[in-house]
Structure 1
Amino acid sequence: MTSVIQLSTPSALLEARGARVSVDDVVALEGLTFVARGDRVLCAGDTQALFAAVSGMPLMPRGQATPGDAPGEARVVAGSLLLAGRDVSRAEQLSVMGVAPLDPPLPPAWTAEAYVTWSARLGGAGAFVARGTAAASLTLVGLGHARHRRLDGLALPERRAMMLAAAIVLSPEVVVLEDPLSGLDGMAAAFVLSAIAAATRGRRALISTGRLDRTGPTGALVGGASDLLVLSAGELVFAGTPADASGGRRLFALVVRGQTESLQEALSARGLTLRAGAGRLLVSLPEGASTRAIVEAAAEVRAPIVEMVPVI
């Protein structure tokens, strides 16, 4: 008798079913529903709350916090959010991922090797193993020469690469990177892109970016992504592949002062669709249409546009 071997199918890298995410008990994301099965998922737009929920790291350390500010703790309070099949609401994902947050506070007098070694120790590695894996991780991301330099002597791209080394020091199944190219261009961006390629080789990656720019350095992240998620105004506005997003249709987020219903009617008359988000209106432009149609519709119904930002 021939036996049949059942091959297990890997869980989706990121999956949400009606997920609601709150930050300090204020709803930040509502009704997230998607399945991203590829090995490299790029999240673009207003991703801070999602990253904080998945990483388990509060928002405050990465911002310009002042005494008395709320910590920025993000939690899944309804529905489900899974990373590699692990329940984020129960912090199950922490056992399979490594995280590289965007520019967290660093101890200036520490060396790069000391920081990555301590990251390994915090993850449960013994002293000898931690030192060895730290050195190997730093070399992998292009910082072997800088192992013994103080953190306050590292340039910004080097600090970003060091955070990647810390994220992979214990060989996690998934690496989660927060906006790693933010504020970088030219050789600085190229250095970090090389570090990302090395750090994510052979493992799945969830990467965020504040802007979906196909022409700058972020274009390399877009081109290498298997899945693309775009968040705006507290909701998911696009889920698919990067190729799907380049089909010609564009999405804009608007802030207007009044006359919302009249604006919706005026836009519909021009073949445009509008829906409400959290504090913004989302307008979809078909291929060939320009933002002039939005401006003309707003002028027609006397709906002042305070802000108009491209989402895709």
Structure 2
Amino acid sequence: MNDRRILDPVLLASDVRVDEDGVPGCEGLSFRTKGEHVLVLGAPRALFLAAVGLRPVVRGALTVRGVAADEAVGYGLIAGAALDPPLPPRWTVHEYVEWSARLSGAPPAEAKSVAAGAIARLKLEPMAKTRLSMLVPHARRATVVAAALAASTEIVALEDPLGGLPEEVAASYGAVLLEALADRAWLVFAPRIALTSPFARAAEDALVLSATRVDGQGPPAELASTPAPGKTEHQALRWIARLDGALEPVREALAARGSSLEEQGAHVLLDLAAGTTTSELAAICAAADVAILELMPVSRPIARAFL
């Protein structure tokens, strides 16, 4: 791996907008991932598709290891494993995975070897000659992941790899996936995830997103243990807001009270110091001629991201 690139985050977004069917799928997202193994929870599918080069970024910047996402696939930085994509029913597992290796530039002889290695990682050797139409759901998903591994990229992005699977199957299949990805950086995009998931236990960072904002970021266990609003002083004082007006006077007034305001795309993250109430926040905004359009405790969307 390039020594310079390892210093760049796996995924970095700056005021990103990605469209789906001509309308914004996500808009105003700004974040920087931490660590090599990251959960991205609650984000619209448009963000996953943009991260793996399948949707253009309409506005802002989305980079993978410092390279624009739409170029990162060509540089061999990232490959995606989408959730249950259509597969050619008459192809075998080996044919499909080898095809992925060929598409990534491997010569024919090398592609066969790379495909065999990827299939072995996913414990699919007994099914290597099985037609894709005959596979059970988690084996089909494993084949898609094997195809992503066969692209020989630094990073693999997976779309909800355990979603909808029975609990026992998800646990065993998740362990196989995690072992297969042991030497890769990975991003797991999912609406929600169980804390007992192998990915939740292994992730160093988790982002909880909506279409327009970052609701939380941190190690999964810490985020999931965030109490409901009002149960602790700290969490009751952290809010996501949408404000209309010049923010600098509000920022300065809050700073004078030991509080902070951080812009996150179209929204702001407010950390209010102990003793500062939302009524005082409203007064500060009114004095600065800033309207509060939305105000929500951070912990509410975070709670929805974990099973």
- Normalising to structure 2: TM-score of the pair? 0.71
SS in 1 for 2:99: helix
Paired letter, 2:132: L
Q: Deviations over 1:113-148 (max 9, x none)?
A: 011111111111121111111111101111011100
- Given the superposition, is the C-alpha separation of residues 27 and 123 from structure 1 closer, same or farther in structure 2, using an over 3 Å criterion? same
1:213 matched to 2:194: yes
- Given the superposition, is the C-alpha separation of residues 228 and 285 from structure 1 closer, same or farther in structure 2, using an over 3 Å criterion? closer
Equivalent residues of 1:55, 1:94 under 8 A apart: no
1:283 matched to 2:296: yes
2:240 counterpart residue number: none
Equivalent residues of 2:29, 2:211 under 8 A apart: no
Q: Distance in 1 between matches of 2:28 and 2:141?
A: 32
Q: Deviations over 1:165-212 (max 9, x none)?
A: 100113211111111001012332133213311331111001111213
Q: Deviations over 1:237-270 (max 9, x none)?
A: 122222431342348xxxxxxxxxxxxxxx957x
1:18 matched to 2:12: no
Q: Distance in 1 between matches of 2:65 and 2:173?
A: 25
- Given the superposition, is the C-alpha separation of residues 283 and 81 from structure 1 closer, same or farther in structure 2, using an over 3 Å criterion? same
Q: Distance in 2 between matches of 1:119 and 1:285?
A: 41
1:175 matched to 2:169: no
Query: In terms of mean alpha carbon deviation, does 155-164 or 184-193 score higher?
Result: 184-193
Count of matched residue positions in the alignment of Structure 1 and Structure 2:
242
Match of 1:236 among 186, 191, 214: 214
TM-superposed CA distance for 1:93, in Å, is: 4.2
Matches within 5 A, 1:102-181: 102-181=83-162
Equivalent residues of 1:138, 1:165 under 8 A apart: yes
Paired letter, 1:103: D
Paired letter, 1:200: L
Q: Distance in 2 between matches of 1:46 and 1:200?
A: 22
Gaps (5+ residues) in structure 2? 230-276, 282-291
- Given the superposition, is the C-alpha separation of residues 119 and 285 from structure 1 closer, same or farther in structure 2, using an over 3 Å criterion? closer
- Given the superposition, is the C-alpha separation of residues 93 and 103 from structure 1 closer, same or farther in structure 2, using an over 3 Å criterion? same
Q: Which runs of 4+ in 1 moved over 4 A?
A: none
Q: Distance in 1 between matches of 2:193 and 2:101?
A: 33
Paired letter, 1:145: P
Equivalent residues of 2:155, 2:184 under 8 A apart: yes
TM-superposed CA distance for 1:161, in Å, is: 0.8
Identity of aligned residues (%): 35
Q: Distance in 2 between matches of 1:80 and 1:24?
A: 20
Match of 2:24 among 27, 30, 52: 27
Equivalent residues of 1:100, 1:178 under 8 A apart: yes
TM-superposed CA distance for 1:282, in Å, is: 6.9
Q: Distance in 2 between matches of 1:119 and 1:163?
A: 9
Equivalent residues of 2:207, 2:214 under 8 A apart: yes
Equivalent residues of 1:87, 1:93 under 8 A apart: no
Gaps (5+ residues) in structure 1? 1-6, 58-73, 252-266, 292-308
Match of 1:91 among 60, 63, 71: 71
Q: Distance in 2 between matches of 1:174 and 1:203?
A: 6
RMSD value, Cα: 2.6
